[in-house]
Structure 1
Amino acid sequence: MELRNLKTFQVAAEHLNLTKAAELLGYSQPTITLQIQALERELGHPLLNRVGKRTFLTPAGKTVKQYTDQLFLVLQHMEEGLNSLHLPVGPLVVAAPEFYCTQYMPQMLKAYVETHPQVNLQVISCTSQEALKKIHAHEADIGIIAGASSQPEIFSTIVDLEEFALVASPDIIKGRTMEEALAAYPFLSYQEGCNLDGFITQCLLEIAYVPPSVIKCSSEETIKRAVLNETGVALLSTALVARELRTGELSELYRFSKKAETSLVCLDRRKNEAAIQTFIELVKDVWQTVREE
């Protein structure tokens, strides 16, 4: 039984679309059809059934898909285990929020590829929650996130403690006390499920602040831009708004005593892979230096 035919069936069964499977695998559609037919002959069961323009899995197809999914997951684990025995090599996908990508990644990537040129790095800009999802889905190997992860299958190590402040446009607070400004404008925050939900709640409790209304935003960069546009007030990392605070584009209303972790995360079973391990070590070594530049 050829793994190639099993892989073709797995992709076709996942999407139930032979054209999509051909596109993803780089084959022609007739080749996809021939490979699945060869597998059906070998197994002695039809695997796909077409009704009108729609494709369905037969009962045998559902069974075979269940086992092919397990098979290729085991093969992936084997490959990951073998990779961990060697020097860092191959692709390494890093997922991180936009702020980390722009402020920290350029210097860290330069330092990493100079030491490990055989690793092909890719950086994905996304939210912290999306970074965790990509790691689970094997769309990213390692993530840099705001906060920490308590998920048992995730390895998390702290690289920084960030200060946060309540900030607003100077025009919003002109002629007002902080309490008056907070009562008059909405609070800009992250979408539900943000990795900093608990931290934000503790900060608001510190100043007994109950926002009159809340506007949810997809990223901290969106929140910052909305605050600059006088939409409302927000709790943001002082590193993210350092330039705006220096230039007076934003005013600091309150700096919180609690600090938020910045963490490196990856699947726990992959933390000892050479590429991931060396990247974690480099980030820990240079993070503070990059931050102070």
Structure 2
Amino acid sequence: MFEVRRRLLAIELKNLKSFQVAADYMNLTKAAEHLGYTQPTITLQIQLLEKEIGHKLFHRIGKQTFLTPAGNLLKQYTDKLMTVVQEMEEGLKQLDLPHGSLVIAAPEFYCSHYLSFIISDFLKAYPQINLRLVSCNSHDTIKMIAARTADIGIIAGACDSKEIEAILLKKEDLLLTAASTLTPENDLSFIFKNFPFISYQHSCNFTELVNSCLSNMTYSPSSIIELGSEETIKQAVINKMGIALVSEDLMKSEINSGAVTVLERFPNQVETSVIYLKSRAHEPAINSFSDLLQGVWDIQS
């Protein structure tokens, strides 16, 4: 009994595979062509297999080749074994492919102007991923990544968490903007005195950058309106609610069309980054989406 077990453990899978294909074709030449071997190699592998199990596997009667009783038995179990091996190989491959669910958190502007296009391409490449997009401000995106309620995020501004990897996608100038109809007859001092400054809520993670720009100006806003998202601030400026400091991309099309005027451009730049937990950097879905973002972000600008 021990000897039989020792022999079975010594059998190599490649020899079993060659036997299986040879038994399917009942022709060593065709089996060799199928496997990409030479016929002598197939013959040698089957001879080694016969030696290992102690039984002949094929016999010939005239020009016909048949399986011996041992060959028939081995073929039944080899078919089962190779099915399991194939399932195992496919399962291992899945570990290296993006699959499962992916939750992406990002501010509304990024969701509508960038991610809607990028996600479409991503799902074409990885249809086995179930994807969910969450719209929230940059500060809340960082909180969601830290809490693992989102897998990957896009933020404007800095991320100071040592547990989070932040990869720069782009740097943009900060612009002081207003609706063009406010500016022709009014100078900057008049605008600051008579129109509110539209700001991000204090939970926004680049509020300090905005405050730094304002501190370098001669004028101070007479009143401040805090809003929760970049898109809301954009619409408030367009609708003449007040003036705002925004990233260049946020207002690019409105500036180009003449609907919005740039009152001042600042040397300070706001960073756009993709973020995820450093401890999850090995996960295929996160890696694949991060790589795609880095490759196409500027193209989508």
Q: TM-score, with normalisation over the residues of structure 2?
A: 0.66
Of 96, 106, 112, the match for 2:106: 96
Q: What is the CA-CA distance between 1:172 and the residue it aligns to?
A: 2.0
Post-superposition offset of 1:83: 12
Contact 1:84/1:272 (<8 A) preserved: no
1:153-172 paired onto structure 2 within 5 Å? 153-172=163-182
Counterpart of 1:185 (choices 195, 204, 207) is 195
- Superposed, which structure 2 residues align to 1:113-124 within 5 Å? 113-124=123-134
**What's the % identity of the aligned pairs?**
40
Mark the runs of 5 or more structure 2 residues left unpaired by the alignment: 1-91
Q: Within 1, Cα distance between the matches of 2:136 and 2:234?
A: 16
Larger Rg: 2
User: Structure 1 residue 130: deviation in Å?
Assistant: 1.5
Q: Equivalent residue for 2:241?
A: 231
* Equivalent residues, number: 210
**Who is 2:292 aligned against?**
282
Please tell me whether the aligned partners of residues 99 and 240 of structure 1 are also in contact (alpha carbons under 8 angstroms).
Answer: yes
- 8 Å CA contact 1:128–1:145 kept in 2: the answer is yes
Residues 270 and 83 of structure 1: is their aligned pair in 2 closer, same or farther, counting only changes over 3 Å? farther
What letter matches 1:168 in structure 2? A
Deviation at 1:86, TM superposition (A): 2.9
SS in 1 for 2:282: coil
Cα distance in 1 for residues equivalent to 2:108 and 2:208: 21
Aligned CA RMSD, in angstroms, stands at 1.9
Structure-1-length-normalised TM-score = 0.68
Cα deviation digits, residues 16-53 of structure 1 (max 9, x gap): xxxxxxxxxxxxxxxxxxxxxxxxxxxxxxxxxxxxxx
**Among candidates 132, 146, 153, match of residue 136 of structure 1:** 146
CA shift for structure 1 position 175: 1.2
Q: Which residue of 1 aligns with 2:161?
A: 151
Cα 1:83/1:233, change in 2 over 3 Å: farther
- How far, CA to CA, are the matches of 1:88 and 1:103 in structure 2? 24
Unaligned runs of 5+ in 1: 1-81
